[in-house]
Amino acid sequence: MKITGKHIADLLEHWAPLSLQESYDNSGWLVGNPIDEVTGVLCTLDCTEEVLEEAKLKGCNLIVAHHPIWFGGKKRLGSHYTDRVIIQAVQWGIGIYACHTNADAVETGVNAKILEKLGLKNGRILSPNYENLQQLTTFVPVQHADEVRQALFDAGAGWVGNYSHASFNTEGVGTFKGEEGSAPTLGRVGQVERVQEMKIEVLVPKWKQREVISALHKVHPYEEVAYFLTSLQNAHQQTGMGMVGELNEAISWNAFVHLVKSEFHVPVVRHTRAKGDVKKIAVCGGSGSFLLNDAIRAGADVFLTADFKYHEFFEADGKIVIADIGHYETEQFTSEIFCDLIQEKFPNFAVLKSTIRTNPVNYS
């Protein structure tokens, strides 16, 4: 099978839809043509010149990175390191794809990997997304209701938290009159029909809308399918920023620090004053100071993240312990996620994890 960049992109975007990225982000295709055949994929946290050279050496013509190499619009290419990467990638025929805040926002993404490394259980999204859910309402003859419901479920509708196949159904009478040019499934043109119908209501994530509506049209028996979508303000529990989980049993602060240093290979942990044993831990890969109040409301003993500024540490106010271990350190295992996803889907395909340590921060 010929594997193209689009195959890789479709896989990653099915897992972490681009619509979940933050407004400032630049996830998706950055360099290259997605219809080109891929000889190998190199997964990395950052796409640097050294990583680009590694990809060329190992025969990989696609780099999947967590961080985009640029965020704002570019009007020209010059001597900046990001410009050099772009120019060299084009010259060498290497594509670059970024999967950033959308990978942060899914419950099996960056933050789930941190929970896994710490051995935390009962993980849940710390700050769920809002306005990502819609309610689909449609009407179908009673005898076709089971078939239509199943098609909607198969397309990704009907999830509420960890429950699938969720719907609400109301039986009633539908009326219609086929006018000239129509071909009604039931009844005759020019005659008002009364049909026993089922009103089916299901939740649909916005990024699944096209698939769900397509499935509805394929299986619905009517020539004209009656449905409507309603935007909801509900929290979507499977997407959002940060996560929180629990250790099997409480451990001392010193034991927690040892665990973090061991699992994340960090020489030092910047933190506020310790305040007792640790069991519930909130996490956010990368810059997480904006989630501090969410971590406090969740009742977490510790908030593990990065990039806290000096005055922001005061905001802990004795309610929680902030543990800042560094931006690279919290996200260093993201390339593992990409490798595992691609390898599982394409087991006979070359998928490599970069060996380049791209952290620009050093400790002496």
pLDDT tens for the chain, 364 residues long, are 799 999 999 999 999 999 999 999 999 999 999 999 999 999 999 999 999 999 999 999 999 999 999 998 888 899 999 999 999 999 999 999 999 999 999 999 999 999 999 999 999 999 999 989 999 999 999 999 999 999 999 999 999 988 999 999 999 999 998 898 888 888 788 889 899 999 999 999 999 999 999 999 999 999 999 999 999 999 898 999 999 999 999 999 999 999 999 999 999 999 999 989 999 999 999 999 999 999 999 999 999 999 999 999 999 999 999 999 999 999 999 999 999 999 999 998 899 999 999 999 998 8
- Same domain flag for 89 and 24: yes
Could you tell me the end-to-end alpha-carbon distance of the chain, in angstroms, rounded to an integer? 49
User: For residues 25 and 68, is the Cβ–Cβ distance under 8 A?
Assistant: yes
Domain membership flag for residue 358: no
Domain's final residue, options 232, 260, 284: 232
Backbone angles phi, psi at 177, to 5 degrees: -135, 115
Q: What is the pLDDT of residue 62?
A: 98
Looking at the chain, how many residues does it have?
364
- Same domain flag for 90 and 12: yes
- Same domain flag for 89 and 149: no
Domain's final residue, options 232, 256, 284: 232
Q: Tell if the pTM clears 0.75, that is, is over it.
A: yes
Domain membership flag for residue 112: yes
Query: Strand 321-324 and strand 302-306: pairing?
Result: parallel
- Same domain flag for 85 and 211: no
Secondary structure class of 231 (helix, strand, coil): strand
- Same domain flag for 115 and 144: no
- Same domain flag for 137 and 225: yes
Q: Which residues pair with 95 in a beta bridge?
A: 62
> What CATH number is attached to the domain comprising 203?
3.30.70.120
- Same domain flag for 9 and 87: yes
Residue 58 CB partners (closer than 8 Å, separation 6+): 40, 42, 352
Full domain range(s) for residue 48 = 5-100+333-353
How many structural domains does the chain have?
A: 3
Q: What is the pLDDT of residue 21?
A: 96
Domain membership flag for residue 362: no
Domain's final residue, options 213, 232, 251: 232
> What CATH number is attached to the domain comprising 56?
3.40.1390.30
> What amino acid is encoded at 210 in this protein?
R
Exposed e or buried b per residue across 29-50, where buried means at least 16 C-beta atoms within 10 angstroms of its C-beta: ebbbebeeebeebbbbbbbbee
- Same domain flag for 23 and 172: no
- Same domain flag for 111 and 255: yes
Backbone angles phi, psi at 90, to 5 degrees: -65, -45
* Spacing of C-alpha 289 from chain mean position: 20
- Same domain flag for 120 and 250: yes
| Helices assigned H by DSSP within 206-321 | 209-219, 253-264, 292-297
Backbone angles phi, psi at 58, to 5 degrees: -95, 5
Domain membership flag for residue 338: yes
> What amino acid is encoded at 144 in this protein?
H
- Same domain flag for 24 and 39: yes
Name the strands in the sheet holding 302-306, side by side, starting at the edge strand that comes first in the sequence.
121-130, 235-251, 278-287, 302-306, 321-324, 270-271
| Helices assigned H by DSSP within the chain | 5-15, 49-57, 81-92, 101-105, 110-118, 145-154, 209-219, 253-264, 292-297, 327-331, 334-345
- Same domain flag for 117 and 258: yes
Q: Which of 3, 10, 110 is nearest to 60 (CA)?
A: 3
> What amino acid is encoded at 268 in this protein?
V
Q: What is the pLDDT of residue 364?
A: 85
**Distance separating alpha carbons of residues 113 and 67, to the nearest angstrom:** 16
Domain membership flag for residue 359: no
Q: Which of 207, 10, 208, 210 is nearest to 97 (CA)?
A: 10
Cite the beta strand spans of the chain per DSSP E: 28-31, 41-44, 62-65, 95-98, 121-130, 133-141, 168-177, 192-205, 227-231, 235-251, 270-271, 278-287, 302-306, 321-324, 351-353
Domain membership flag for residue 360: no
The 8-class DSSP code of residue 236 comes to E
Domain membership flag for residue 322: yes
Domain membership flag for residue 363: no
**Distance separating alpha carbons of residues 205 and 134, to the nearest angstrom:** 6
